[in-house]
Amino acid sequence: MSPAGVALAGWLGAVIGDNADYWIGRRFGDRLFRLRGIRRFYDEQRLRRAQRFFDRRGWLAVFFGRFVAVLRMFAGPLAGSHRMPWPRFLVANSAGAACWVAAVVTVGLLLGSQLDRALRVVSRAGYVGLAIALLLLIAWLAIRRFRRRVSEPRRDD
């Protein structure tokens, strides 16, 4: 197969798939957030915070989400449900997909017959990236909570 053809097919598939996810999130996201199970984790306060995040830095989540296994699945629907402007989503998604596809095709070309082994490493790196992101999130939340407790006035009962 032609590497350029593989790259083009991979890029088109990624962009088309994520755009479909975006529009599904845009159309049905509000209904999903009202479901009881989701509402427990995604309450009004978190919904407002997520909205502010997507207003300011949603393109970062979409672009870099391509490289993190679980975030890759949810970036499109979340961007759509939070009403990220579609042109901004399209640019971030297309650029992220181009970088991701280029990396995967390059690894394939460089490693040739060792592709199966290389894909396992790349797959694990995605999980490592997810684990690092989760650890950073936990650390950020812990620091934030600590600062909030320190800045709150003490109440003696």
pLDDT in tens, 34-92: 777 776 667 777 777 777 777 787 888 888 888 877 677 778 888 888 888 889 889 99
Eight-class DSSP state of 1: -
Is the residue at 156 inside a domain? no
Structural domains of the chain, count: 1
Q: pLDDT band at 151, cuts 50/70/90?
A: confident
101-122: pLDDT as tens digits:
998 888 778 877 776 776 777 6
H helices then E strands: how many in the chain?
Answer: 6, 0
Exposed/middle/buried for residue 117 (C-beta within 10 Å: 0-12, 13-18, 19+): exposed
C-alpha–C-alpha distance, residues 89 and 79, integer Å: 7
Is the residue at 140 inside a domain? yes
Residue 98 confidence (pLDDT):
93
Average pLDDT, stretch 130-141?
A: 84
Is the residue at 115 inside a domain? yes
Is the residue at 157 inside a domain? no
Residue 8 confidence (pLDDT):
92
Q: pLDDT band at 156, cuts 50/70/90?
A: low
Is the residue at 97 inside a domain? yes
* Domain carrying residue 27: 3-151
Is the residue at 9 inside a domain? yes
For the question of whether the overall pTM of this predicted structure is more than 0.75, the answer is no
- For 80, residues 6+ apart whose C-beta sits below 8 A from its C-beta are 21, 22, 23, 24, 25, 26, 27, 29, 89
Is the residue at 11 inside a domain? yes
Coil, helix or strand for 39?
helix
